[in-house]
Amino acid sequence: MKILNIVGARPNFIKVAPLHKAFRTYPAIESKIVHTGQHYDTQLSDIFFHQLDLPQPDYQLNVCPETPTRQTADILLKFEQVLLTEQPDWILVVGDVTSTLACALAASQAGVCIAHVEAGLRSGDRQMPEERNRTITDALAELLFVTEPAGLHNLRREGISDGRVHFVGNVMIDTLAQYRQKANELDTVGAMGLISGSYVLMTMHRPSNVDSEEGLNRILKIVEETACRKTVLFSLHPRTKASLLRNGLMMRLMAIPNVRLLEPQGYLEFLNLMEHATAIITDSGGIQEETTYLNVPCLTFRNSTERPVTVELGTNHLLADLNPETVRQKLTEILEGRAKMGSVPPLWDGQTAGRIAEIMHNTPIRIKKA
Ligand code: UDP
């Protein structure tokens, strides 16, 4: 059985790493990696291959870094060629990025079976490209691997038959559990001259938050508010950096006292920074899950989350009105030790990739190749 694993953007590398390793434990499975090139630079791509012991991709599509529509078109054309050459039995896509949907679409046209890892998550917000990507990918997939109970409910509501759906847990947590000790040994916190619990960590990159001047102004207020009380480490995503520069706001951010601006961090560095943070302020999907597992308070700068278990069981709080005053209140609770304690969601046990590999190994191919 041949499986092509698709990666394109930062969170994909973290999710595919344990899967590729789990597939390789089955002699009957041939597992290859296709990198679309959606994220292509060292800090958002190469370092993850190196740190997570991923082999170099078997295919590098080098898609154009333009609009999502152009990227989708480019991936469709280039990935079609890979499908023709490789004739895989399955493609495996993870998460909700442009590459996820584009490769699923190409495979579907070619009659190749699709497995979607992290299926069934829904924020209910169709304005977000990620919500459209994940909903359409789920409709196309033959096998859907779900991270949390809400995913099962969402897929049932959309009429996807139970036989295609498996509740397996979270591969992102597999990677975290595997590399946590290594990250602690690296001790990025100490190397930066910080001590555990002395800072708030931030990331922001969702288009709805960072693309407009209005969104950036809201973020700057949050940074100002937070930096009055704790050192802020802000890992700047290239999208956010570009928007700050375009809107002439970079100098204002740099002038805020008690803020350290960081380049995007490697996986191990960022994991260590997360584990020792007082709190994390983010709009990331994956970080909501990682902080729940690490039991670190997370303030999510969004109106909705597709990962409700992180709020119900975990340490995540939605800042629904995107209001700096709410951030102030929540930070006060956290600094005074009144943050809620979380628990680890079911099946987030570091064994998810093994479960997925076993299911795929035992699943007959139900679609004839075109
Ligand atoms: N991450 C990282 N370095 C950073 C910021 C984030 O390695 O400077 C990791 C983070 O720990 C998580 C993943 O990147 O595993 C999340 O990626 P991102 O927020 O870009 O994507 P999303 O999860 O929102 O799709």
116-132 tens-digit pLDDT: 999 999 999 998 999 99
What are 66's two structure tokens? 């333009």
How many angstroms is it from 365 CA to the middle of ligand 1?
Answer: 33
Quick check: is 35 catalytic? Answer: no
- Render 189-245 in DSSP notation, one character per residue: HHHTT--TTSEEEEEE--HHHHSSHHHHHHHHHHHHHHHTTSEEEEEE-HHHHHHHH
Euclidean distance between CA atoms 150 and 15, whole angstroms: 20
Q: How confident is the model at residue 366 (pLDDT cuts 50, 70, 90)?
A: low
Output the residue whose Cα is nearest ligand 1's atom 25.
Answer: 285
| 285 CB within 6 A, ligand 1 | yes
| 265 CB within 6 A, ligand 1 | yes
Q: Quote the pLDDT of residue 241.
A: 97
| 48 CB within 6 A, ligand 1 | no
Locate the domains of the chain by residue range. 2-169+349-362, 181-335
State the chain's mean pLDDT as an integer.
95
Domains 2-169+349-362 and 181-335 share a fold: yes
How many angstroms is it from 131 CA to the middle of ligand 1?
Answer: 18
Residue from 48, 186, 205, 284 to probe ligand 1 pocket by mutation (most atoms less than 8 Å from CB): 284
Average pLDDT over residues 265-292: 97
How many angstroms is it from 236 CA to the middle of ligand 1?
Answer: 11
284 touches 335 (CB < 8 A): no
Superfamily assignment of 181-335 in CATH?
A: Glycogen Phosphorylase B; (3.40.50.2000)
**At residue 91, does pLDDT exceed 80?**
yes
- Selected from 1.20.120.1810, 3.40.50.2000, 3.40.220.10, 3.90.1300.10, the CATH number assigned to the domain covering 2-169+349-362 reads 3.40.50.2000
How many angstroms is it from 266 CA to the middle of ligand 1?
Answer: 9
Closest-lying ligand 1 atom to the alpha carbon of residue 262: 8
60 touches 82 (CB < 8 A): no
Q: What value of ipTM does the predicted structure carry?
A: 0.99
Output the residue whose Cα is nearest ligand 1's atom 10.
Answer: 287
| 270 CB within 6 A, ligand 1 | yes
Q: Which residues of 208-232 are buried (b: 16+ CB within 10 A; e: fewer)?
A: bbbbeeebbebbbebbbebbeebbb
